[in-house]
A and B are shown apart, each in its own frame.
Chain A
Amino acid sequence: MLKINNLHVKLEAEDKVILRGVDLKIGPGEVHAIMGPNGSGKSTLSYVLSGRDGYEVTAGSATLDGQELLEMEPEARAAAGLFLAFQYPVEIPGVGNMTFLRTAVNAQKKSRGEAELSAGDFLKLVREKAKTLKIDAEMLKRPVNVGFSGGEKKRNEILQMAMLEPRMCILDETDSGLDVDAMKLVSEGVNALRSAGRSFLVITHYQRLLDHIKPDVVHIMAAGRIIKTGGPELALEVEANGYADILSEVG
Chain B
Amino acid sequence: MALVKAREDALAARLLALAAPDAAGWLATARAGALARLQAMGLPARRDEYWRYTDPAVLNAPDAPVAARFDASDESAPFDGMDRLRIVFVDGVFDADASDDLTLAGVRIERLATSGTADIHWAQSLYGVLESNGQMPVARPFAALNSAFATDGVLVHVTGKTAKPISLIYVHESDTSDAILHHCIKLDPGAELTLLENGPAAARFCKVMEVDVAEGASFHHVRLQGRDHARHAVTHLFARLAARAELRSFTLTANGRLTRNEAVIDLAGAEARAHLAGAAVGDGDFHHDDTVFVTHAAQACESRQVFKKVLMNGAVGVFQGKILVKQSAQKTDGYQISQSLLLDEDSQFLAKPELEIYADDVKCSHGSTSGAIDETALFYLQSRGVPRAAAQGLLVLAFLAEAIQEIADDTIADDIRDRLERWLNRHAAKAGK
Chain A interfacial positions (CB closer than 8 Å to B): 50-53, 73-75, 77-79, 83-84, 86, 89-95, 99-100, 103-105, 107-108, 111, 143, 160, 164
Contacts and interface: CB of A to CB of B under 8 A. Distances in A.
Nearest to A84: B383
10 contacts: A50-B383, A75-B382, A75-B391, A78-B382, A90-B377, A94-B398, A103-B381, A103-B386, A107-B387, A111-B387
A92 B390 contact: no
B395 interface: yes
Contacts of B381: 92, 100, 103-104
Given A75-B388, A164-B385, A92 B398 contact: yes
B385 A92 contact: no
B358 interface: no
Contacts of B395: 92, 94-95
B377 A104 contact: no
A79 B388 contact: no
A78 B383 contact: yes
Contacts of A100: 381, 384, 394
A156 to B, nearest CB: 11
A103 B374 CA distance: 18
The secondary-structure label for the interface of chain B is helix
A107 B394 contact: no
In the complex, the 9 A-B pairs of residues with the closest C-beta atoms, listed nearest first: A94-B398, A78-B385, A74-B382, A104-B384, A108-B385, A90-B380, A94-B401, A95-B398, A75-B382
A96 to B, nearest CB: 9
A92 B375 contact: no
Contacts of B103: none
Nearest to A105: B385
Given A107-B386, A111-B387, 7 more contacts: A74-B383, A75-B391, A90-B376, A94-B399, A105-B385, A108-B385, A160-B384
B379 interface: yes
Interface of B: 374-377, 379-388, 390-391, 394-395, 397-399, 401-402
Contacts of A52: 379, 383
A108 B382 CA distance: 10
B410 to A, nearest CB: 15
Contacts of A103: 381, 386, 390, 394
A53 B386 contact: no
A35 to B, nearest CB: 23
B150 to A, nearest CB: 40
A74 B380 CA distance: 9
Contacts of A105: 385
Nearest to A101: B384
A107 B383 contact: no
Contacts of A164: 384-385
B380 A73 contact: no
A160 B375 CA distance: 20
A111 B386 CA distance: 10
A98 B420 CA distance: 21
Q: Select the residue from A73, A75, A77, A90 with max chain B CB neighbours within 10 A.
A: A75
Contacts of A143: 398
A84 B374 CA distance: 19
A76 to B, nearest CB: 9
Contacts of B374: 92
A124 B326 CA distance: 55
A99 B384 CA distance: 13
Contacts of A90: 376-377, 379-380
Contacts of A83: 383
Contacts of A91: 377
Nearest to A74: B382
Contact of A53 (B375, B387, B402): B375
Given A90-B377, A107-B390, A73 B385 contact: no
A235 B200 CA distance: 69
A86 B398 contact: no
Given A90-B376, A92-B395, A78 B401 contact: no
B387 A75 contact: yes
Contact of B385 (A93, A94, A95, A104): A104
Contacts of A95: 394-395, 398
A143 B402 CA distance: 13
Contacts of B385: 75, 78-79, 104-105, 107-108, 111, 164
A92 B379 contact: no
Contacts of B397: 94
A77 B385 CA distance: 8
A75 B386 contact: yes
Contacts of B399: 94
A67 to B, nearest CB: 15
A201 B28 CA distance: 81
A75 B433 CA distance: 14
